[in-house]
Each structure stands twice: as C-alpha cells, then as structure tokens.
Chain A
Amino acid sequence: MRFRLKEGGRIDRAQRLRFTFNGRSYEGYAGDTLASALIASGTHLTSRSFKYHRPRGILTAGAEEPSALVQLGEGARTEPNLRATQVELYDGLTAAGVNAWPSANCDLAAWTGRLAPLFPAGFYYKTFLWPASFWKSLYEPAIRRMAGLGRAPEAPDPDSYDKMNIHCDVLVVGGGPAGISAALAAGEAGARVMLVDDEATLGGALVGLRHRVDGVDGAAWAQAAAGRLAAMEEVRVLTRTTLFGYYDHNSLSAFERRTDHLGPGAPAGTSRQRLWNIKAGRVVLATGAHERPLVFADNDRPGILLASAAQRYLNQYAALPGERAVLFTNNDAAYEVAHDIVEAGGTVGAVVDCRPEPAAPLAPALKEAGVALHTGSAIAATHGTKRVRSVTVAKLDGDGGLSGEQYRIFCDSVLVSGGWNPAVHLFSQSAGKLTYEEARGIFLPGTATQALEVAGAANGSFGLAACLAEGAAIGARAAEAAGFGDGTPPPAPPVEAPEPGAITPYWLAPGLKPLGHGKAKHMVDHQDDVTAADIRLAAREGFRSVEHVKRYTTVGMGTDQGKTANVNGLAILADALGKTVPEVGFTTYRPPYTPVTFGALAGRDTGALMDPVRRTAMHVWHEAAGTVFEPVGQWHRPWWYPKRRDDKHAAVARECRAVREAAGILDASTLGKIDIKGPDATTLLDMVYTNAFSTLKVGRVRYGLMCGDDGMVFDDGTTARLGENHYLMTTTTGNAAHVLEWLEEWLQTEWPELKVYCTSVTEQWATVALAGPRARDVLAALAPEMALDAHSFPFMSVKEGVVAGVNARVFRISFTGELSFEINVPWSHGRRLWDALMEAGAEHGITPYGTEAMHVLRAERGFIIVGQETDGTTTPHDLGMDWIVSKKKADFLGKRAWNREDSRREDRKQLVGILTDDPKKVLPEGTQLVDKRGQPPIPMIGHVTSSYASPTLGRSIALALVKGGRARKGETIYAAPETGFLPCKITEPVFYDSEGAKRDG
C-alpha cells in the first residue's frame, strides 16, 4: 500500500483485507473499494477496452465508471462487468479485468489497437461482405469472440433474491447533502419518507471532500444526520441501493445489494439482492452530478482519472493517485483537488488550465507551494503505455489550435476536470424535459411531468450551502404536499466550503496532429472506444441525428450508458455539424440508471414459484398413487395412473376400459366454475352463448358454445340453472380466467345496464366425474336419499343433496358418452368424497382415470375439446354443431360474423373423423393432410386435431379439420409429411355409440 497516506481517510485501518486482482495478491482495509485499494497499491491498469484492447484504468470513483470493469469471483458466483469503483472490498476477494487474455497486463488481442486505422466507427458495416459464405463460417464467429466484456457464470446461481413493494409520502433519491436535508425536513414534518442511496454510507460528495458542515467534518455531519433519520419512526433509509428506474404514476424501482459487500461472509438464508418497487407521493431527486472528463489526445491511459475521483481517493481512502500528478482543467473548482493533494503531502507537478486568464481563488496558494500553472494551455499528448509517464502541454492559440509552445511534464497521474454534469438521468426517465445552459455547458431539469422536484447538484446548484438549503426547502414542500407540516424548511446549517467558481466549457483539446491523424486517440467513450474522430466521421457520413451518431459510433451504449461520454460527444457532434448543442438535441435516458441483475428482477418468481402451481383437493391422493401429472394452465392434473409396470399406453387402455365397462372417476375440479347471479343473468347468457338459456328450466343443464365477436369458438362448457336468476357456468380448465374476463369486459364496457354478478367459484367446489355403466350403483351407495334413476334424475339435470355425508351438487352430464355424474362438494371435502367413491366403488371395479383417458373416451364419442379441435378460426358450423346455434335469438356474440363472405365459404375446414388404412398407426396430433403424395410445396387440405389408439375400437382413431370435409366422407387422403404420406380415410367424427344409447347406463 505504497500510496496510502500514513493517516486520515475514512477506512478502518484495524481491519486488513487480502485480495487478488489479475492474479496478483494485494492488501487493503475495510472501507476500501476494489478501486481504492488498487490505487493505494499503485495499480491503475485494470482491464482492456472493448474494441482496440487499449490498456484501461480507473477513471472515476463511483457509479459512472466506464472503464475499470472487472470479473468478480469464480465459479457459480462469478459476476461479469462490475465497476471496480463500486465493489466493496472483503477478505479473500478475487477479481480480474475484463476483455483481456491472458491478462490486462499482457493482452494478446492488443493487435486490434495497432490496426485501429482500419477500424473506425461502423467499419463492420462496410466490410466482411465477400465472399458471402465467409460471414457465417469465419467473419461473424471471429467478431463474436472479440466482442463482449465479461463472462456469464457457467453454473446456476446459488443465491436467492427477493422483492418488496412499498408506499411512501416522500421518496428522496440520493443521500448527499441535498438529499439528507430533504429527508430531514420531510421526516421532521412527519411524512413517511424513504431515502435511497447507492453508496455504503450517506454523505454523497461530502465523503470525498474536506468541507465542514455545522462546525464538523462533512462526512461526520452526514453520519450524525443518518442517526437522526434512523431515529424517526416513519423514515426508512436504504443504502447500497440504486434507484434505477422512474416509471409512470410515480412508480419507481430500486436495486438493493444486501450481502454483496460481505463476500463469502454473507449470512446463509439472506437474500443477496432485493428489488424495491416504490409508489411515491412526491419524489425529491437529489442525484448529484458527475464530473466530466476533458477530451484530449490519448486521454485514456491508466493513471488518467477524474480530478474529483482523485480527491475522493485521497480524502475518503487516504490514497494518493501517484508520485506526481498533473491537473488539467477548465474550471476553478478543480484547483481544490490539487490543493488537497499538496496539503496531504503529495506532489502536483503542474496545473494546466485551458482558460487564458483563469482567476481561481486557490491559484496563489498552489503557486506558493511550487505548483507550476500553465494557463491558456492544454495537454496535447500523453505518453506511456500501461501507465501515463508524461504529458506534453502546449499553449493554445485561442482559435482551436496550438500556438507551438510545448513542454513535456513527467507525471504518473493526470487529473482531469471538464466541469460537472447534473445527474438528470432519473428526471429524464420520468419523462421530464431537459434544458441546456450555455454558460456552464450543462443539461438541467426543465419542466417536470410527474410529482417531483430536483434538489442540489442535480439541479445545477453545485455549492454546498445551496445544496443544503435547496434540499431542505424541497423536502419541506414535498412533506406539505403530502399533508405534513406547513412547508417551512428547517434552518440550513452553516458551512465551510469554497464556492464552485468559474468555468468555461471546453470540449476538445487539439492534439499534436490533426484529429484522426496518427496514432493518438481522443477518447470520448472510454468503454466502447469511441473517439472524437469517430463522431466527426459519423457526421461526415450523414448521421446527423444524435440518435444516429449514438447507434453508428456506439457512443454512450456501454454499461455506463455514457455517463462520462454523452455530453462531450454531443458537443463534439454539434461542432462538427456547425450547430448549437440544444439544436442537436439529446438522446433519451433509458432505465436502468446502472445495470440490475436478472436475478433481482426475477426475485422469487423462479422455479416452482415462477407461476403458482394450482393443486386440487385430491392432489395428495394422486401423488400417493404415483400419478403422472400433466400441466394444464397453472394446474397439475392427473394424466394417467400407472400401475405396476404399466406404460402410458397400457395404463390409458386400462382406464378407458374401466369407464366403458364398469366405473371410473376423474378429478374434474380444475374446470372453471363461474357463479352467475342477478335479474339479468339469463340475458347475459343468451348474449354470450350461441344457444338460448332463457328456455332452460330451473334444475336443468345445457351445453353451450361461446364465440368471439369474430364468430369463432373460444370456449365451451355446461351451464346449470340453479334458480330463476342463478346459474353455474363451467369453462375449460385453461380458459377459466379468460372467460371470466370476457364476461366482465362485456358487462363493464358494452352492457353496463345488465344487473349481473359473475364470481369465480372454481376453487370453492371440488368436482369428481363418476362415469361408466356402474356409476349409478356406486353413487347410490353414497347418496341413499337421492333418486338416481333416469326418470327422476334425467340426463342434463342437476340435483342438490347429500353425497358421502356432504352437501353436494350432482350434475348428470357426460363427457365420455357413458352414464355419468359430476359430483361437486365444498373444496375442503373433495378428498373425503374421492375416498368414499373409491371405497364404495371397489366392488364395482372403480378405477381413477386421468386426462389422457378422458381425451380418448371423448374422442371415441366425437366430443370436441376447445383449443384442440378449434384454433380460433373454427365456427360452430365448421364443427358440425349447427344444432347449437340459435336461429331465434335476435342477437348474440358471433352471430353477425357468420354473415361475412368468408364464413359462408363451401371449402371451410370442417370437423371429420380420420381412420388410417393401417389400424395400428396412430397419427401425431398436428399432422397435416394432403390429397396427393409428392414433393413440397404441396397444398394442405387440413390437419389432425386429435389422435389416439382407441382401446374400445381396438384401432387408431383421429379427428381432423379438413377443407369441405363433410362432403368427402369415404375418400382417401394422406397424412404428411413427417409420417411419410400415410393413406387414411375420411369418416364421421363419431366412433362410438353415435345414437347416445349409453348415456343412461
């Protein structure tokens, strides 16, 4: 730790931490970041740049870092592209710079930098075109290998993530002086306040400065304020939390890193990161400002860093940037950095100020300390490869060029300050418009479109006193708007800090050769290697919109989203186009402010919790029976019940035979159930179903088809009339929620005059379908009070009574063709009913059957499944179900559509049966049907919708939709192409009991 000062800083010197970077061992202290520990050890080279693999070091000390990107850790917990400036040090940390092989120190891909003249912005659009076949085999794979920064882990993430949803009156973003003042003011007024900051401690810029607030060191004042905030009951402070997204209606999202700073010491069972979704009454953006680099020749060598970053490394971490620094600036404020370094015992070789006659208040003191002051000058070149070794300073001619006078100054660090850009990212995300201030060359928040105000440096108020006063005023105002206090801010504490001073915006320092000539690079975007020459090239090639330039050169498209690059790039573009900065405009800031892990965004919504699993009341029984489950929507339904060594085919055949010959039970609880009540319930049903329900008697059940307004079938099911104004509708399992939404949409938008309530009762009633010739015998044993004969309990009717000791609704409906009762009991009694049926049915050979057997049984009987026999292009007529379409009702959904020309086409696809000539061949569902064998393209006439080996018929059967199929019965067609053009015949779509003789048992 050669460059660590003997004393000072805000690190814990009692805790030494060991870490490894780029294969070398280092030591640091608790309170260090990876970047500060490296700088304290004299290491600036961290990684390699994206395109030219130029050596890159640490440019900043915070979230805006574009270049010091590292791959943290190894194995399943490795993480790519982290900013070294934000990685908190822990013992045993290992990291390596990205995009370098074998290492940042010796990178074999550095040849790309030597060929840089061939690789200007957008070079890849102009080449790799010949020969065409080389793109896929050679050029693109090579480009992909060169691209990318870090590596994704190779194993699943062992850590967990979670989410919080929260409301507050006032959300303060940023825990610097302005944010702390705002939170104190709003909190003291009694409002519910959240203060969010992305650093480990509150204080913001104060932590890196020697300014004093209220008579004490600024950082100490911030700590005391944090204590006061913690004592307020309604105030919540989140540190290590980045507010990254500002959405509509004051919805904001933040990303908290809960255990990352602990490394392997993270407590087990604690979520690693947390996503906060915040609804805020008022928002105070106190997001501070980012120092802007100056653009000069070879301004990207390791050892060149922002002046404010060097100041922070010095004051917070007690680390000097090197043996001898040179400051390059266009503003007074940066002189303070040189002053701090000299005060701390470091050496500043020179201050280079591009302004001809600067009047920085600290200049005399620096001169006195022996610091050379070069005014009206710029750094025209830097020297050294993996670390800056010297700079060439040249006098400016006042006309954008050099006057000829040059000096070589030896140094191992260059501190750069081009002024400050307010961090308006979140303001811009909130859909607020930015304004441009010419004098300081900065974008400021303009008109807000949401309930927010901007305080402090983010609002262009760079002085400490102004930050504190503005924060307090806005905080008090926000609290008042939320109904707390009278808007009077508490008095601002006195400060001891210099004022920001004068600045002259300066965008591009000339090099020793004209821009773009020679090897020197004026780097604008340090991450993506975008130079000032690239931006001029883009303008030259006709890319005049700032968005075009961004996309063509990739300026600002890196992981830092151009926090240090965008404004410089924009000004250089404006100059190239001969326009002003506001005329060129600004790109839109897009969320997130800094990158957010997929894991945090996913939270707990992965694995079993990705989508809730819905289970029926009988699920545990099914599981114990070794059932194979089928996912249907969110439900897990029994697919089939293997016995001993049954395969699927054998199990399904056994289940089908049981239903046809004895009795079977199916867990039908998942079918959607909607309770419909109200004086207009009948009217609603008459409108949404194709057939009439006004003619249905109480106690009777009717099957209905539901069509969209396009006339296409979208759901079916039975509806029972339980009372004059009371119905129970059933829907398909997968469509239940959609049907309820459909009913509500019509009720709420088109027919608000109808008095009807629709309530989902799917999970209030457990349902068991009891089917087979012995069904009546089984039920009789459990419902001795209930008359079950076909006369007293006819097909398509409902009875209420006691079954297995439980109040039940029993429906005589059938989806298998056999005598069948669907017994509904309150959900919690489902298992009891199931057990009772199994017991009572034992002597009748009762057999549980799953969805696969159900599908086979209904297909044998020719019953459709919506979503299988239909695909959103199928009308009731196509299904041969004209009988269910009312000719009397004046209007209902779908009716009008059937008058359209296309609905009357003769060659519409119609539901038919298909029998393969070879009865053993079972066609895959989805197989296409054609008239002739041949080579593609071949016109298709239809497709197989359902297909099974039928145990009842002892052969394969299929249903299909075939063009004009009803008129083609008996004809031979072919199933193609995967099955190899199997011949088959078109038949009736009913294979079993077409008279319906079995339904009464």
Chain B
Amino acid sequence: MKKFSIFSLARNALSHHEHWPEQWRSPAPKPAYDVVIIGAGGHGLATAYYLAALHGITNVAVLEKGWLGGGNTGRNTTVIRSNYLWDESAALYEHSLKLWEGLAQELNYNLMFSQRGVLNLIHNVHDLQEATRRVNANRLNAVDAELLSTEEVKAFCPILNTSPKTRYPIMGGTLQRRGGNARHDAVAWGYARAADARGVDIIQNCEVTGIDVEAGRVTGVQTTQGTIAAKKVGIVVAGHSSVLAAMAGFRLPIESHPLQALVSEPLKPVLHCVIMSNGVHVYVSQSDKGELVIGAGLDPPNSYSQRGGLHTIEDQMGAIVELIPIFSRVRMMRSWAGIVDVCPDASPIIGKTPVEGLFINGGWGTGGFKATPGSGWVLAHTIATGEPHPLNAPFALDRFTSGALIDEHAAAAVAH
C-alpha cells in the first residue's frame, strides 16, 4: 500500500496524478477461501480488515452484489456516538468509538472523523427522566456524557430555538462531546484499501444466490460469478439479512423498512454539532462540504425498495424548522432511502448461526454506521476463534429464545 500524505500528493502532482495506483484491486474470485464475507459495506470490509490485520487470516474474499459501500454505508447520516443506555450496548459502541479515534491514521485514509459533539434534546419531563438515567449510566460506564440546562443548550448551539413558546420547548439536553460524524464513503474505501493491501480479495458485482450447507456445516456460496468454497462464511448484508439467512435455512426476527435521509444545498458553516431530538423526531448535522444532513424515522411499510414517501420528509421538515427557524429558507437538495433491518429490541445480532461455520452480523436498525469499526472487530474475532468476544456475546441470535433482549427502544435517541 503506497502511503497517502501531503508529500505523496505533491509528488504525484509533478507527474500530473497519472501514477496513482488502484486503491484496491478488482480480482476474479478464486475457487476457495478460508473466509468469505458476504457484503462489502463498512461492516463487512472492516471484518475482513481485522481478520487480516489482527488475526492473520488473509485468504479472505468479500463478495458484493453491487459496488462496495453502496448500501447503508453510503446512505446513512454518519452520526457517531456511544452514549447508549444499556451496559452491553455502551460497551460495544464505546469500543467502536475508541477505534474511530485512531482509525484514520491506522488506515492511512482521512475519514474526516469529526468529534464535534452530539446533542440530544429534552422536550418533556419523561425525556428528562430518560436523559438523566442515560447520562448517569454513561458516566458509570466511563462513557463521556453531560446533562445540559436549556441555557447551556443555547450556549452550545445558538441557532436552536430555545423559546418556551415553541410547541415542544427545549428543556435541556444531553451532550456527548466525543460523538460526531465521519465521511461515510471514506470509511468503506479506507477499509477496502487497507484490507486489499493485506491480501483480501474484494469482488464486486458478485451476488450471492445460495449458501452451501453440508451436514449442518457451511461449505461455500453460490454466486453470479460461480461457486466459491469457504471454510467459514460471514453474512454482513444490512437490509437483506433475512434473505441471506433464508438461503442458509434459518429465520431471523427482523423486519426490513426503508429509512430516508436528505441533504440541503451546501451552506457556509452554520451548525457546529449534531442535533438529535426524539421528542420532535429529527436529527441534523452539517457535513464538511456544507450540506445539512437530516434524518428521522422509518417509513412504516416493510419493503426492500430503496424508496420512501415525501410525507415522512414533510414531518421532519416541520420539526427542523421548529427547532432551527433560520433553516426555513434553506433548500432540500437530495433525498434517498436505504433499507434497514430492525430487530424487536432494536439491537443488532452479531455471532454464530444455527449453521456451523456460518456467522452473521446484522439487524442494526437505524444506527449501524457508528458501530462499523467495533462491529467488524468483534465479528473478526468471532470468525477467527469460532467463539464470540465478550463484547458481542450478549448480541447472540439465541437471545430471542432466552429472552435476554437488549431493548434500546426505551433508550434510543430517536424512536424506532
């Protein structure tokens, strides 16, 4: 891997940028691999990277039906935080946040990880109770968290309308200063480049059409580019987890929904943190390009089409204009949808499946992006060792049988 730096840019400028190498190869699939990862999104690529970087397993293929990073990795609103209520979630997301903090240097790829602070707004007494509970829990779990008064909220983000006359007045907020955003595409590209450099084959336009199982053990996958044998297989396909599980003969307690997001036209810097409000149901940040990045709740119908309805956006725009009235004359430039797989407890499934050698990572609902490094890290550990890491053990599929749910509905920053 040729190192990226200002010096390499300057050197290449002299040769008119005509000698940059490919950031990753586009190899044809080999007949067999030690590990096949299905899905070249951030999570799948991170899994492959950590398998190679930390576990010495480099005979790995990542199969992607479209183009790498083209699913939810390239469609989310890039919010990163770890201020989750439950111990299990806080541990997983905080591990992920710690990985984010050194990731750009580790991958030698500027992910534009920006710890500008995530501010969750409080609009009523119930919100305040939940916020107090979460901030106290975060602090006891050694996750940074602050409870802010209305005045402190105003000081941190002056463009918010903190007037008591609004429909749902802002009664305060919680702040995680280490939270923020990253450039989502760069995360996929950075992991792809680093994994490729360690020998991982990333095979795009290669759709998995079947999973081969013999005597309860996975032996490989059928793809649009032929049969690929594998000792171990990981399913990491946000939006289609149930489809892949069905190929291997088991069911998942997952519902799939479209989730929309949108950006405004680029503006000079006006919003310096991430704002999230469960009460009026919207979240917003400003990207380094200047666009306001806005998301909200799911489109209710179950669907695999990456399309939503305008009414969902109309609702969230009412909320945005109410929270930040100066955005009324700003314009929506582009909107889109991704498909999110939602578990009954709004927590992911990471671990073993009923098929030996077959592992799954999915069901992240609306919030998987922030977990990308941690998720790949624990799944790589699970695939390499055959057993879950303590961080992902609670997120096993069998929790839906045992009842040991990690119910983030109550604790979610935005209701699911």
Contacts and interface: CB of A to CB of B under 8 A. Distances in A.
Interface stretch (B4-12, B210-218, B366-374): B4-12
A542 B23 contact: yes
Given A127-B110, A149-B267, A547-B70, 12 more contacts: A129-B5, A132-B104, A277-B311, A542-B22, A548-B69, A597-B328, A606-B328, A871-B410, A925-B129, A926-B135, A936-B140, A937-B141
Nearest to B91: A937
Interface residues of A, number: 119
A868 B22 contact: no
Interface stretch (B45-53, B230-238, B240-248, B330-338): B330-338
A118 B4 contact: no
**Interchain residue pairs A-B with the least CB separation, the first 6:** A148-B290, A926-B132, A900-B403, A926-B133, A902-B403, A595-B331
Contacts of B286: 144
Contacts of B114: 135-136, 140
B317 to A, nearest CB: 4
Given A431-B307, A533-B17, A902-B402, A156 B269 contact: no
A247 interface: yes
B168 A516 contact: no
A873 B132 contact: no
A144 B23 contact: no
A247 B167 contact: no
Interface in B294-348: 305, 307, 309-311, 313-315, 317-322, 325-336, 344
Interface in A149-171: 149-157, 159, 161, 163
Contacts of A157: 321, 325-326, 328-329
A603 B318 contact: yes
12 contacts: A80-B267, A117-B16, A129-B110, A147-B289, A544-B26, A595-B265, A925-B133, A926-B133, A926-B135, A937-B141, A943-B137, A978-B147
A156 B325 contact: yes
B266 A602 contact: no
Contact of B332 (A135, A595, A632, A900): A595
Nearest to B21: A541
B24 interface: yes
B322 A610 contact: yes
A925 B142 contact: no
B336 A590 contact: yes
Interface string A331-354: 000000000000000000000000
Contact of B168 (A78, A130, A601, A631): A631
Nearest to B183: A125
A630 B9 CA distance: 59
B136 A943 contact: yes
Contacts of A978: 132, 135-136, 139, 147
Contact of B18 (A132, A540, A554, A945): A540
Interface string B154-173: 00000001000011100000
Contacts of B318: 602-603, 605-606, 610
B270 interface: yes
A120 B11 CA distance: 13
B55 interface: no
Given A50-B266, A157-B329, A598 B321 contact: yes
Interface of B: 4-6, 8-10, 13, 16-18, 20-26, 66-70, 74, 87, 102, 104-105, 108-110, 112-115, 123-126, 128-137, 139-142, 147, 161, 166-168, 183, 185-186, 189-190, 204, 264-270, 280, 286, 288-290, 305, 307, 309-311, 313-315, 317-322, 325-336, 344, 399, 401-405, 407, 409-410
A532 interface: no
Nearest to B310: A253
Given A632-B124, A710-B344, A936-B140, A599 B290 contact: no
Contacts of B407: 712, 871-873
B89 to A, nearest CB: 13
Contacts of A247: 307, 309-310
Contacts of B405: 710, 873, 902
A248 interface: yes
Contacts of A132: 102, 104-105
B175 to A, nearest CB: 14
Contact of B310 (A78, A277, A868): A277
Given A125-B189, A598-B327, A926-B131, A81 B265 contact: yes
B240 to A, nearest CB: 18
Contacts of B147: 978
B267 A126 contact: no
A601 B313 contact: yes
B280 A126 contact: no
B310 A251 contact: yes
Of A592, A602, A945, A976, the most chain B CB neighbours within 10 A belong to A602
Given A147-B288, A873-B410, A152 B110 contact: no
A687 B344 CA distance: 21
B142 A936 contact: yes
A155 B326 contact: yes
A355 to B, nearest CB: 30
Contacts of B269: 144-145, 147-148
A120 B9 CA distance: 9
Nearest to A131: B105
Contact of B17 (A161, A537, A598, A897): A537
Given A124-B112, A149-B265, A592-B332, A607 B166 contact: yes
A561 interface: yes
A140 B112 contact: yes
A768 to B, nearest CB: 23
Contacts of B126: 734, 867-868
Contacts of A161: 328
A159 B321 CA distance: 12
Nearest to A633: B124
A128 B399 CA distance: 43
Contacts of B204: 544-545
Interface string A625-644: 00000111000000000000
Contacts of B264: 595, 598
Contacts of A251: 309-310
Which of A147, A247, A630: most chain B Cβ within 10 A? Answer: A147
A137 to B, nearest CB: 11
A126 B112 CA distance: 11
A591 B332 CA distance: 9
A868 B127 CA distance: 11
B180 to A, nearest CB: 9
A364 to B, nearest CB: 43
Contacts of A595: 264-265, 331-333
A149 B266 contact: yes
A277 B313 CA distance: 13
